[in-house]
Amino acid sequence: MTAAPRTTAAQAAPVRAFPASRGSMRMTSPGEPGGGGSGSEVRPALQDTTVARSARVHDWLLGGVENYAPDRAAGAALVEVVPGARQLAHSGRAFLRRAVGLLAGEAGIGQFLDLGCGLPVLDGNVHEVSQAACPGTRVVYVDVDPVVLAHAFTTLDDNADTLIVGGDIRHPGAIREAIGGFFDWDRPVAVLMANVLDCLPADGADDPDGPAGVVRDWAAVLPSGSPVVIQQMVCADAGVRETVTAVMTGATGGRWGRMATPGDLGRYAAPLHIGPPGLGDVTRWRPDSPAAPGPLCPSGAAAWGVVGRAPGAGSPPGTVGDGGLRSGRGP
């Protein structure tokens, strides 16, 4: 769930790919602690534990243990403003698991690209869910945080169907090039953007570095019919949004926490073909059992998400979001 601070094209960090079966991992990432500038080795010891990091704050929200005092303080500050933040984080993660499982098992999507993947969760990581539903599914994890990449590498061990890419999600062409032949680019690739768009600068729709621009750029480079999953916390209350944004960007050095409105999320998803149930509360999207809507937070915040489809060349409006997940399996 980590995106790099704003850079110009000339300053953009090189994108590097690391097969999970390799014995070491290297990356360059200017502007990130421990990123080096010329292929420095990624080690967990390079963590800066004096400043909260978005991945570790989210780990705390989900009940993980890979977090430090500043991360816990930032998470507690978020919960102070949004009392249901931890439940919303769990609801968002459950939505992602359902989407991945259904896309792999029901739609036969055999390739997943997790942008801003964040730290591994206790259960239900993307490669675990997708490969259980459809053995042989290939998964690429992308993040710019070297600590996240180191944890991913350790967790994956020798999973030959998984690739780790160090890079900035605002450069889809470079990431696609790094993935190369690991994916079959003639078949759909499911792209996951869960809790990562709020790491990007909340600028206008025409800004390529903003969330809308990033979704648009990814939709343009994906194979026709590729599913795109977007999820993040939203709130219609301007006061709550401003407070959350100030607290979280302050705690993380500007790297996370720009809270969006439901309308913003709809704007981000505008390049996609969206079928029913459309954009909304994640608890309503293909629930495992009949369920009431997600808990109403006193702050008015909610976990929202959508599953759409990149149009590509000649792709008709899709139905990926409605339970008719049927476009991904090859002949």
Q: What is the torsion angle, in degrees rounded to the nearest 10, for the CA atoms of residue 44, residue 49, residue 51 and residue 57?
A: 70
pLDDT bucket at 156, cuts 50 / 70 / 90: confident
Contact in structure between 144 and 115 (CB atoms under 8 Å): no
Task: Report the alpha-carbon angle 171-173-174, nearest 5.
Answer: 70
pLDDT at 15 over 90: no
Write the pLDDT tens digit of every residue in 89-112.
Answer: 999 999 999 999 999 999 999 999
Pick the range with the lowest mean pLDDT from 34-43, 106-115, 217-226, 237-246: 34-43
Give residue 89's pLDDT: 96
Domain 16-322 falls in which CATH fold?
Answer: Rossmann fold (3.40.50)
E-assigned strand segments in the chain: 16-19, 111-115, 138-143, 162-166, 190-194, 227-234, 273-274, 280-281, 302-309
Question: Is 67:59 a contact under the CB 8 Å cutoff?
Answer: yes
- Residues near 294 by beta carbon (within 8 Å), at least 6 away in sequence: 87, 88, 91, 281, 282, 283, 302, 303
**How much is the pLDDT for 321?**
39
Q: Which carries the bigger pLDDT value, residue 177 or residue 205?
A: 177
Tell me the pTM: 0.83
Residues in the chain: 331
In the Cβ-directed half-sphere of 7, how many Cα atoms lie within 13 Å? 19
- Which pLDDT tens digit goes with each residue over 40-78? 334 444 578 899 999 999 999 999 999 999 999 999 999
pLDDT of 316 strictly over 60: no
Percentage of the chain beyond pLDDT 90 is 60
Query: pLDDT confidence of 158, banded at 50, 70, 90?
Result: confident
Which pLDDT value is given to residue 150?
Answer: 86
CA separation (Å) from 116 to 25, 226, 297, 299, 313?
A: 18, 18, 26, 26, 27
Of all helices (H) and strands (E), which one includes residue 94? helix 85-105
Task: For residues 107 and 275, give the distance between their C-alpha atoms in angstroms, rounded to a whole number.
Answer: 15
Amino acid (1-letter code) at residue 165: V
The Cβ of residue 207 has, within 10 Å, a number of other Cβ atoms equal to: 14
> Which of the four pLDDT bands, split at 50, 70 and 90, describes residue 294?
low
Which of 51, 1, 12, 64 minimizes the C-alpha distance to 258? 1
Q: Which has more confidence, 253 or 240?
A: 240
- Give the per-residue pLDDT at 93: 96
Q: Which amino acid is at 99?
A: A
Cβ(142)–Cβ(114) below 8 Å: yes
Residue 269 to residues 214, 273, 282, Cα–Cα distance (Å): 10, 8, 15
Mean pLDDT (the chain) is: 81
Least confident stretch, 63-72, 198-207, 270-279? 198-207
| Confidence band of 298 (pLDDT split at 50, 70, 90) | low
Check pLDDT > 60 for residue 26: no
Q: What is the largest CA-CA distance in the chain?
A: 52
**pLDDT above 60 for 25:** no
Pair of tokens at residue 56: 């570790």
Give the span between the Cα atoms of 275 and 215, in whole angstroms: 17
